[in-house]
Amino acid sequence: MPAISAQAPGKTILCGEHAVVYGQPAIAIPVTQVQARAVVTANPRGAANQIHIIAPDIQLDDYLENLAESHPIKRLFTSLRHSLNLSHFPAFDLRITSTIPIAGGMGSGAAVSVAVLRAVSQFLGHPMNNEQISSLTFEVEKSYHGTPSGIDNTVITYARPIFFIRGQPFETLHAIHPLTFLIADSGVRSETATVVGDVRQAWKKNPEHYEALFHAIGTLTVQVRRRLERGPTEEIGGFLTANHQLLQELGVSSPELDRLVNAALAAGAQGAKLTGAGRGGNILALVGEDKMASVSQALRDAGAVNLYQTNLMPSHDEVEK
Ligand code: PMV
């Protein structure tokens, strides 16, 4: 039997992070330049449940049965077994690799889950559709992120730009003009659950103030959607920068992220903001073709340890739901 492989892209949030946890809309786009990949190879001579996992990026080379119940990969398999109603797994080797930075706000954990579920479910002869993969990935994310909105599993599973409101079916976005974003990694690692938890504490202490901020972010997100779909796209940058200011007020930026945002703007980016949970991870900047080189250089000079470029293309073909 030939090896079965599957992959899933990284993601970035264009606008609306944090507010999306409280019911406001957010926009996310896939970042296809980085991918998680899972390859399953049958082991016909192995005993039942003998699953050998090799994930060099996290220094993992072990059998599934040896992993703690709380290990994300163990949780993923437990959910998969329940979902498919299997009493046991046949023996196989699973190799997981990823070029998505870990804990950098690009959805590395969700992308690994999606790639593994795709490859393993196909190998088992029960290929899951996107809806099943997204909801199972959401379940696993919930078990260690507490209150995820569901935006990460959705954009990564469907690999298309989305307008997302928690608990509602997502909408696919169709931009009228191509847009190019630079994503710059601050090199600072930050845990989404911690930052989301801190925002929750602050919201509990001062709900009116925080709900006003969430609402303002949601309003910006709707404005960005309108400009993406109908133009003028030149106005999008200003909304993104305004979104960064609101994220600063939420308390989720950091000196490193602010430095990157300011450097991108000073070098001619149309707009810039932190993306994802904040405190670390990445910023994104909307950059015209003519400013690409100068903004890239300015971001490196301001401390970016990695740069990724991603494009939002005008039309996006519908894929299987
Ligand atoms: O996974 P991250 O770091 O990109 O953050 C996800 C975005 C949040 O809105 C902060 C949390 C969520 O679940 O939507």
Tell me the per-residue pLDDT of 223-245, one tens digit each, with 9 for 90 and over: 999 999 999 999 999 999 999 99
- Looking at residues 25-44, what average pLDDT do you find? 96
Per-residue model confidence (pLDDT) at position 195: 94
CA distances from 22 to 148, 196, 205 (A): 10, 11, 15
Amino acid letter at 80? Answer: L
What is the pLDDT confidence band of residue 253, given thresholds at 50, 70 and 90?
Answer: very high
pLDDT top residue among 190 and 221: 221
Q: Does residue 320 register a pLDDT over 50?
A: no
Q: Is 17 in the pocket of ligand 1 (CB under 6 A)?
A: yes
Percent of all residues in the chain with a pLDDT value above 70, rounded to a whole number = 97
Quickly list DSSP for 19-80: GGGGT--EEEEEEEEEEEEEEEEE-TTSPTT-EEEEEGGGTEEEEGGGS-TTSHHHHHHHHH
Taking the C-alpha atoms of residue 26 and residue 163, their distance in angstroms, rounded to an integer, is 6
Q: Which of 12, 149, 253, 283, when mutated, tests ligand 1's pocket best, judged by the most ligand atoms within 8 Å of its CB?
A: 149
Candidate from 12, 14, 20 with most ligand 1 atoms within 8 A of CB, to mutate: 20
If you average pLDDT over residues 86-99, what whole number do you get? 95
Q: How far is the CA of 46 from the centre of ligand 1 (A)?
A: 39
In the predicted model, what is the mean pLDDT of residues 183-212? 95
Query: Which of the four pLDDT bands, split at 50, 70 and 90, describes residue 2?
Result: confident
What is the per-residue pLDDT for 3?
94
Neighbours of 68 (CB within 10 A): 7
pLDDT of 64 strictly over 70: yes
**Average pLDDT over the chain, rounded to an integer:** 94
CB of residue 217 inside a 6 A radius of ligand 1: no
